[in-house]
Amino acid sequence: MKHPAEWVEHLGGDQMTITEVARRHSSTPGDQVDQTADRLAHAVAQVIRSWRLIAGTGLSIGAATAVLVLVLPERYDSQFSFVPQATASLAAARPSLLGLAQGLGLSSVASALAGNSTSDYYTSLLGSRSLAERVLLHPFAPGTEPHHPEATNLLIVLGADPDDFSRSLDLGVEAFGERVTATSDPLSQVVSVSVRLSGPMLARRVAEITLEELNRLNAEVNHRLAIAQLEFVTQQQRESKAALYTAEDNLKKFQMANRTIASPALAFEQGRLTRQLNLAEALYQSLVQQYQQSRIDAAKDLPSFTVLDAPNEPALRAFPKRRLAVTLAVVLAIIAATSTLFLAALLPSVEESGRDPLTTVRAAFRAAGVDMLSLYRRVVGRDR
């Protein structure tokens, strides 16, 4: 067994005494609690002493974020909203409109019509490729976009390649879908649309074009529906008219062949022919009314929705939120730096294990206060 002096000599490189060795190897639960408190106090004191590093990290990250948000391109939101008209008429014509939308290749519109919400139909129409192409190629006045004063449509603003128009159009449709957001309220049926672009004037003009082309596309779909209904009713009317003439001829031939109805069989046959004629006549009259209504629907040109809020020219940026971004960057940097220093201070052994934890923290606060006061004096240029 080694002599205590040999323990001291053996542990001399670690600068530990026999008392410290005994304390480490015979620690009680109370001593472990004291050691934990010492570690926490040492970590807090280390964080307080490093206030300059923490503040400098926060300010540096804040400055870098400020430069970044100044470099990022600005975006402005122009918004408008509308409510569909003639909800009952659209609901009645929904099956025919569903088949027409499928025939025109508007799959998103067809899926929306399969539901029960009229506003979903307009939301899907806003996300269709047909509307996107119309808006992208719709001309506007040169100078609408200050960064592209020569641009005369949105496709040019988004970067059209004159050598590959098809690819440019596909990319433009994708970009248009990212910049136009449509939401609907299932209760009020109000559809709200937001158009986000690089300039306030451009955002308002594209929002106006979107509203105009949406109304035009919807009117075109409704007009095609009315034409399809008119053709269907016309064909049915012709068949009903032929059936009516056939029923009239059958009853006429029966009455000419049987001027006197003497037997029950002849009376029954006459009644059956009369009922067929009455049914054919009622069906023909109904189809005539539908034919007249279909002609009116195909000829009329009424707005399909009521605009609640017209497109506005935004005065404030929608992106980037510079103050918010810089504030969050500074706060997160300070939290990250503080957490890193605190955790790093908990890893090594405590150097001040013999001191009271509160005394350690107070000493750190006192030293930090003296350091801050000294910095203040140097900055302000006066001695108190």
pLDDT digits (tens, 9 = 90+) for 149-185: 888 999 999 887 878 889 999 999 999 999 999 998 8
Quote the DSSP letter at residue 146.
T
Q: What are phi and psi of 15, to 5 degrees?
A: 55, 50
pLDDT higher than 60, residue 188: yes
pTM of the model as a whole: 0.61
- Collect all residues with Cβ–Cβ distance below 8 Å to 273 and sequence separation of at least 6: 247, 250, 251, 254
pLDDT in tens, 243-297: 999 989 998 898 888 888 778 888 888 889 899 989 989 988 988 888 888 788 7
Whether residue 329 contacts residue 60, with contact meaning beta carbons closer than 8 Å, is answered with: no
CA distance 373 to 379: 10
Dihedral sign computed on CA atoms, order 296, 298, 299, 303:
positive
Q: What are phi and psi of 374, to 5 degrees?
A: -65, -40
Q: What local confidence, expressed as pLDDT, does residue 95 receive? A: 55
- Return the residue matching tokens 């500074």: 330
Q: What are the sequence ranges of the domains in the chain?
A: 4-70+323-380, 76-309
CA end-to-end distance (rounded Å), the chain: 63
- Collect all residues with Cβ–Cβ distance below 8 Å to 250 and sequence separation of at least 6: 273, 276, 277
DSSP-assigned letters across all residues of 312-340: ----S-SB--HHHHHHHHHHHHHHHHHHH
CA distance 196 to 202: 9
Does domain 76-309 bear CATH number 3.40.710? no
